[in-house]
Structure 1
């Protein structure tokens, strides 16, 4: 894309933004800015110019453009992160800081974490809410990292939407499990805000906390309000106590079948037996592959890994067995065929 075309699209987006401030219809603005951001280098240059403007709308647009450019172009992410970190040290307008928080998440750069920690303490609830959401893209992976500590604080925020988003990010997107995290999630299970309460329950279930079982059954017992993430939490929890209420749903509803299978002890026993037969067959056919079955900590699916090959496909065991019509020996043959192609 030519630089002039980027500039033209950004110019149209700036005009659309000024209209959207009055109408609250941001669709045209978003479409134009996304198209302009396809040219990462050009968008980075123009975005830097815009965030240096005295005009508030221009600085918002600059942040949004930089975030879009980073999302679409890995090559500009490092420079974008550095640019946004520098802006955070001088920007004071809440609206611009909201856009900055959303943009810096999409750099997927951990230099964003200290910025978001500061914004998590901002007096504007909308800025705190966006900070709570944006931590998801830049997690440190440390169980007691600054991002986790900030999120725990935000789960107790006075604003219900901040609590809701912080609890979702901490409970369902962070892959960390500590007593402090569980305590924060447990607190939210009595939150007066229904969404924050649900996120607390689902977050505990994701950590296989037995206290979540009756609360999760209660959520599942309300078909009007059940969420796809509730079925996912039930799948991860994987306990027979949830099976009766899950069987009240249509099998083809999003996530229902997977949750039912995970909570059905008969199905699980059959799956584990088939997985063992599959691995045993692979060891007989190709002992050099060092086949193994594993489950991720915050998931319920069984995966087949081949330790001796670095670029081999990872197989979902249940999906592989479906391909093999339930025959684990045939599944082993399919794995070897996949390796040969």
Structure 2
């Protein structure tokens, strides 16, 4: 994209922002900025210039532009994070801080954590809500990290939407566990806000906390139906006590089917047996792949990992078996054909026999 075109789009977005300040219609503004930000290196200097402006509308637009650019272009994230951290030290305008919190999350940079932790105590509930959701992109993974401490505080906020978003981020987005985290989630299971209460229940279920079982069954028994994340939480727990509630739903929904398969002891045993047979067959075909089966602590399903780098080379066992018409040996052949052989000492590859 031409630099002039980026500047034109940003100029149009600024004009749209000034109109939206009066009308609260932000769609055009967001579309224009997203298009401008697609050219990360082209939009970066414009964003940096805008956040240095004396005009708070321009500073907020600069934050939004830098956030969109970071979302689409990894190359600009480090410089964007540094600039936003510096801006946070001097910024006082509420709507600029809202945009800053949203933008710095999308840098996925750990330098965002102290900024968000400081903003967690802001008097404006909308900013605290934005902060509660923004922690999702920069969670440290430390059970007692500043991000987790701030989120626990926000789960007890006086504003129900802040509690809701903080509990969702802590319970479902953060893959970390501790007694303090579970205590905070348990507190929310009696929250007067139905949304915050559900997030507390699902967060406990994601940590396989048995106290969540009757509460999760209650959510599943809701006459109006359950949220998709409730089915996901049931699948993660994978215990037979939830099966009667799950069987009340139509079996054609993918979320329902996955939860039923996880909670049905017969189906679970069949999957475990098939996963073992798949692993044995693959070891016979390709011992060089160093295959293993595992389950994520905070996720659902059985995965097949290859070598040390599970994330980049893994398979969902159920999906793999479905491709193979339920035959573990055929599934092993599919994996073997997917994976190139490592070159041997001569550089020509290992012998097949």
TM-score (norm 2): 0.94
Shift of 1:306: 2.1
How many Å separate the matches in 2 of 1:146 and 1:272?
A: 39
Q: Does the 8 Å contact 1:289/1:309 carry over to 2?
A: no
Tell me the equivalent position of 2:153: 153
Deviation at 1:184, TM superposition (A): 0.2
Q: CA deviation at 1:290?
A: 2.4
Q: Is the 8 A contact 1:67 1:102 kept in 2?
A: yes
Are the counterparts in 2 of residues 289 and 308 from structure 1 also a CA contact under 8 Å? no
Name the counterpart of 1:94. 94
Give the Cα separation in 1 of the matches to 2:242 and 2:32.
47
The 8 Å contact of residues 288 and 308 in structure 1, kept in 2 or not, is answered as no
Q: Which moved more, 1:104-113 or 1:288-297?
A: 288-297
- 2:292 equivalent in structure 1: 292
CA spacing shift, 1:309–1:193, aligned 2, 3 Å: closer
Q: What CA distance in whole angstroms lies between the structure 1 residues aligned with 2:147 and 2:77?
A: 20
The offset of 1:289, in angstroms, is: 2.6
**Shift in Å, 1:120:** 0.4
Deviation string 1:77-121 (CA, Å, 9 cap, x unpaired) is 000000100000000011110000000000000000000000001
- Does the alignment pair 1:113 with 2:78? no
For 1:263, the equivalent position in structure 2 comes to 263
Q: Which residue of 2 aligns with 1:198?
A: 198
Q: What secondary structure is seen at the aligned counterpart in 1 of 2:321?
A: helix
Asked whether the 8 Å contact 1:168–1:199 carries over to 2, the reply is: yes
| SS of aligned partner of 1:35 | helix
| Counterpart in the other structure of 1:128 | 128
CA separation in 1, counterparts of 2:261 and 2:56? 53
Report matched runs for 1:1-341 at 5 Å: 1-224=1-224, 226-307=226-307, 313-340=313-340
Offset at 1:312? 7.2
**What's the secondary structure of 1:82's corresponding residue?**
helix
Measured after TM superposition, the shift of residue 192 of structure 1 is 0.3
Structure 1 residue 300: deviation in Å? 2.0
1:243 Cα deviation (Å)?
Answer: 0.9
Q: Give the drift of 1:276.
A: 1.0
Q: Is the alpha carbon distance of 1:7 and 1:309 closer, same or farther for their aligned partners in structure 2, counting shifts above 3 Å?
A: closer
* Counterpart-to-counterpart distance in 1, 2:74 and 2:312: 25
Please list the CA deviations of residues 267-301 of structure 1 after superposition, one character each: whole Å capped at 9, or x if unmatched.
00000011111111122223333221111111121
Aligned-residue offset at 1:225:
5.1
Structure 1 SS opposite 2:7: helix
Secondary structure in 2 matching 1:255: helix
Using the size of structure 1 for normalisation, the TM-score is 0.97
RMSD of the alignment, in Å? Answer: 1.5
Mind listing any 5+ residue stretches in structure 2 that lack a counterpart? 342-353
Partners of 1:52 and 1:236 lie apart in 2 by: 46
Structure 1 partner of 2:345: none
After superposition, give the CA deviation of every residue in 1:24-77 in whole Å (9 maximum; x if it has no partner).
111100000000111112211111111122212111111100100111111110
User: For residue 349 of structure 2, what is the aligned residue in structure 1?
Assistant: none
Runs of 4+ in 1 over 6 A off after TM superposition: 308-312
Equivalent pairs counted in the alignment come to: 341
Residues 3-35 of structure 1, C-alpha deviations (whole Å, 9 max, x = no match): 111111011111111111121111100000000
